[in-house]
Amino acid sequence: MGGCRNLSFLLLLTLLQLLHHSYSLPLCTDSNAPLPQKGPFAFCSYNGTSCCNSTDDSSIQNQFKAMNVSDTSCASLLKSILCARCDPFSAELFRINSIPRQVPVLCNSTVLPNSAQTSQAATNFCSKVWTTCQNVSMMNSPFYTSVQGQVGGGVVSNFTKLTDIWKSQSDFCNAFGGASDDESVCFAGGPVTLNSTGTSIPPSGLCLEKIGNDSYLNMVAHPDGSNRAFFSNQPGKIWLATIPKQDSGGVMGVDEANPFLDLTDEVTFDTEFGMMGIAVHPNFLTNGRFFVSYNCDKTKWPACGGRCACNSDVNCDPSKLPPDSGSLPCQYQSVVAEYTVNGTASQPSLAKTAQPSEVQRIFTMGLPFTAHHGGQILFGPTDGYLYFMMGDGGGVGDPYNFSQNKKSLLGKIMRLDVDNIPSATEINQFSLWGNYSIPKDNPYTEDKELQPEIWALGLRNPWRCSFDSARPSFFMCADVGQDLYEEVDVITKNGNYGWRVYEGPYLYNPPSSPGGNTSVNSINPIFPVMGYNHSSVNRNEGSASITGGYFYRAEADPCTYSRYLYADLYASAIWAGVESPENSGNFTSNQISFTCAHDSPISCTFVPGSTLPALGYIFSFGEDNNKDVYILCSSGVYRIVRPSRCKYTCAKENVTAEETPSPPPPSPSQASRLTGAYLNLVLLLFSLWFLLISLV
């Protein structure tokens, strides 16, 4: 039995090591995004985007002076090491096994990350530090502080040499050399640089097949891993549909007469109103919980009403709202409600319908205008919290400046804990808008001016967000512009995305400002990573409106793999964005052609005189359990399929029309190697561990 216990422990340890996997992108040690510097620092030499400000730079300089290092060569290396806290990748550089460090991970020739610098100087930086500094005295050594508690054998004075603690270069580099948690970056004496992958050739085109005729706004894969998905429409119905396999020639299986849930009596449906989002709880297979975001009219349904977003807390008088806010102040509401399938089937995965009455109201807020209220909801894949996307509330140019007002929830992305019922103390402390708790690491703990629900701010109308299934730290949102620019943003904790000081990369001058203005110098905006000017698209509605999508992670089209797909609602235009170098946060995007396969299960209608399918309005994108991507349009549901079905050239596909699709391409880097084989290994180890402990 003892042997079983030991083997069980080793398997569990291996399992936990496999499960512990993070993904690198520019991020600071406080989990905030790096921001553009307002000028050069007096001490550290970082330029452009940095995790420091001038105050941080001054603090690092004082720390360096206090070390009292007389050797100039060693002092130069120590200065660079201390200044590494300003690096845009400092979150990874200063963390190993999720433990914060005082010293960054030093590049070491024995363990060099796949994406880091590969010069001889880079590979030997740890040994260079040892060789140069091993016998140099330093006060308050950051190396000693990093391992304090791990070093035994008596008291070490504040004035130490490296050789006082480590007896050899090997010992020292075992402690400080290597690669970060995700093995993608390390410190080599200067700002982290990633290997460029060279010029990336856009795919020759996207091949689509039509598998459904109905119009939907949301698609969520069933969490049981099957070929089923939830689809919802704007009027207020949800269906549970089956999805045919690629190349099967099948169509979606939907029983239109028997929806999974019908909320049309509660939902107010209009151009900008309706059922805006659905989200399935991470533990749905055991608890049967799911959540719906919709709009309602309190004049038609008194239970709909909540507190008005225009109130004294944000210097807004609801009695003075203009006519386009509704016949009553905050007549229309934005609601998130919880529902359940419990009681409709023996287990949640078998449920074909939900209970029609809500379990509890999670959130209710009155809207000051009749537009720009987002409404999408998503559960974070790593933290299990509910993210709620909210627009600025409407009105040309966000007249009340809600998006920049830290006391307003309009123009924000919220992050809510729906698993813990708030206490009376929490409700009174935070003045919550419903039944949820505040995650303890929300940004309000660092910025006391922020409402505690806020995760990110400065958005106009976030329309379709997604987490990258291969790299969950990439949280992408499209944000609808005003007059000039449609943008895609990488959302990070406490990120300010500029609206209404900026529209995309452009300064914005609002036509009216009853709610006051925010000065340019008072914010550190995070600019879009992708987007397009209104003038660059053919607009059949005289306007432009972005629709966010997904990083493509499916097998069907290997030439589109790892590209972020997004579209324009009106223009029937689709873009593919690629990150280069990988994990850098730097993107380029190209508008790409698309057409419909000649053997589409449902025949496509084409724009007269062209090969462009008549998609109508592109409302949203979806992703199933195979990571296949769908385009949800006013004319139906389309799926991206292998390029050869549309006679597009893709050398990576390497199949004929009669052959099955090729295996998926290799993972783009070690930082995103969470593949199917990896998951299978995790499941196998978990099964073995469970079997072993059951025998003990």
Same domain, 1 and 28: no
553-597 pLDDT, tens digit each: 999 999 999 999 999 999 889 999 999 888 788 999 999 999 999
Same domain, 27 and 12: no
Q: Which residues of 160-199 are buried (b: 16+ CB within 10 A; e: fewer)?
A: bebebbbeebeebbebbbbbbbbbbbbbbbbbbbbeeeee
Position 102 scores a pLDDT of 87
Total domains in the fold of the chain:
2
Flag whether 303 is in a domain. Answer: no
Residue 269: helix, strand or coil by DSSP?
A: coil
Give the pLDDT band of residue 473 (cuts 50, 70, 90): confident
Position 429 scores a pLDDT of 86
Is the Cα torsion angle 105, 111, 117, 120 positive or negative in sign?
positive
C-alpha 582 chain-centroid distance = 16
Q: Write down which residue in 157, 176, 195 finishes a domain.
A: 176
% pLDDT > 90, the chain: 69
Q: Which residue has the higher pLDDT, 441 or 10?
A: 441
Flag whether 169 is in a domain. Answer: yes
Confidence check: pLDDT of 157 > 60: no
Flag whether 225 is in a domain. Answer: no
392-414 pLDDT, tens digit each: 999 999 999 999 999 999 999 99
Would you state the structure tokens that stand for residue 451, as one six-digit string? 């409402």
Residue with tokens 């939830």: 230
Same domain, 104 and 3: no
Relative to beta strand 618-623, strand 629-633 is: antiparallel
Q: Write down which residue in 176, 207, 235 finishes a domain.
A: 176
Q: For the residues of 319-385, what is the DSSP string, one character each?
A: GG--GGG-SSTT-EEEEEEEEE-TTSSSSGGG-SS--SS-SEEEEEEE-SSSS-----EEE-TTT-P
Same domain, 35 and 166: yes
% pLDDT > 70, the chain: 84
Same domain, 163 and 30: yes
Confidence check: pLDDT of 673 > 50: no
Give the pLDDT band of residue 41 (cuts 50, 70, 90): very high
Residue with tokens 């109508």: 616
Question: Residue 555 and residue 557: Cα distance in Å, rounded?
Answer: 6
Q: For the residues of 50-116, what is the DSSP string, one character each?
A: ES--HHHHHHHHHHHHHH----HHHHHHHHHHHHGGGSTTHHHHTEETTEE-SSPPBPBTTB--TTS
Same domain, 17 and 67: no
Same domain, 7 and 112: no
Confidence check: pLDDT of 18 > 60: no
Flag whether 475 is in a domain. Answer: no
Same domain, 4 and 67: no
Torsion of CA 517, 520, 525, 527, to 10 degrees: 100
Position 25 scores a pLDDT of 79
Flag whether 266 is in a domain. Answer: no
47-71 pLDDT, tens digit each: 888 999 999 999 999 999 999 999 9
Mean pLDDT of 493-504: 97
The DSSP code for 434 is S
Same domain, 7 and 140: no
Burial class (CB in 10 A: 0-12, 13-18, 19+), 453: buried
Question: Residue 243 and residue 59: Cα distance in Å, rounded?
Answer: 57
What domain range is 65 assigned to? 23-176
Flag whether 221 is in a domain. Answer: no
Same domain, 66 and 154: yes
Same domain, 6 and 72: no
Residue 675: phi and psi, rounded to 5, are -100, 175
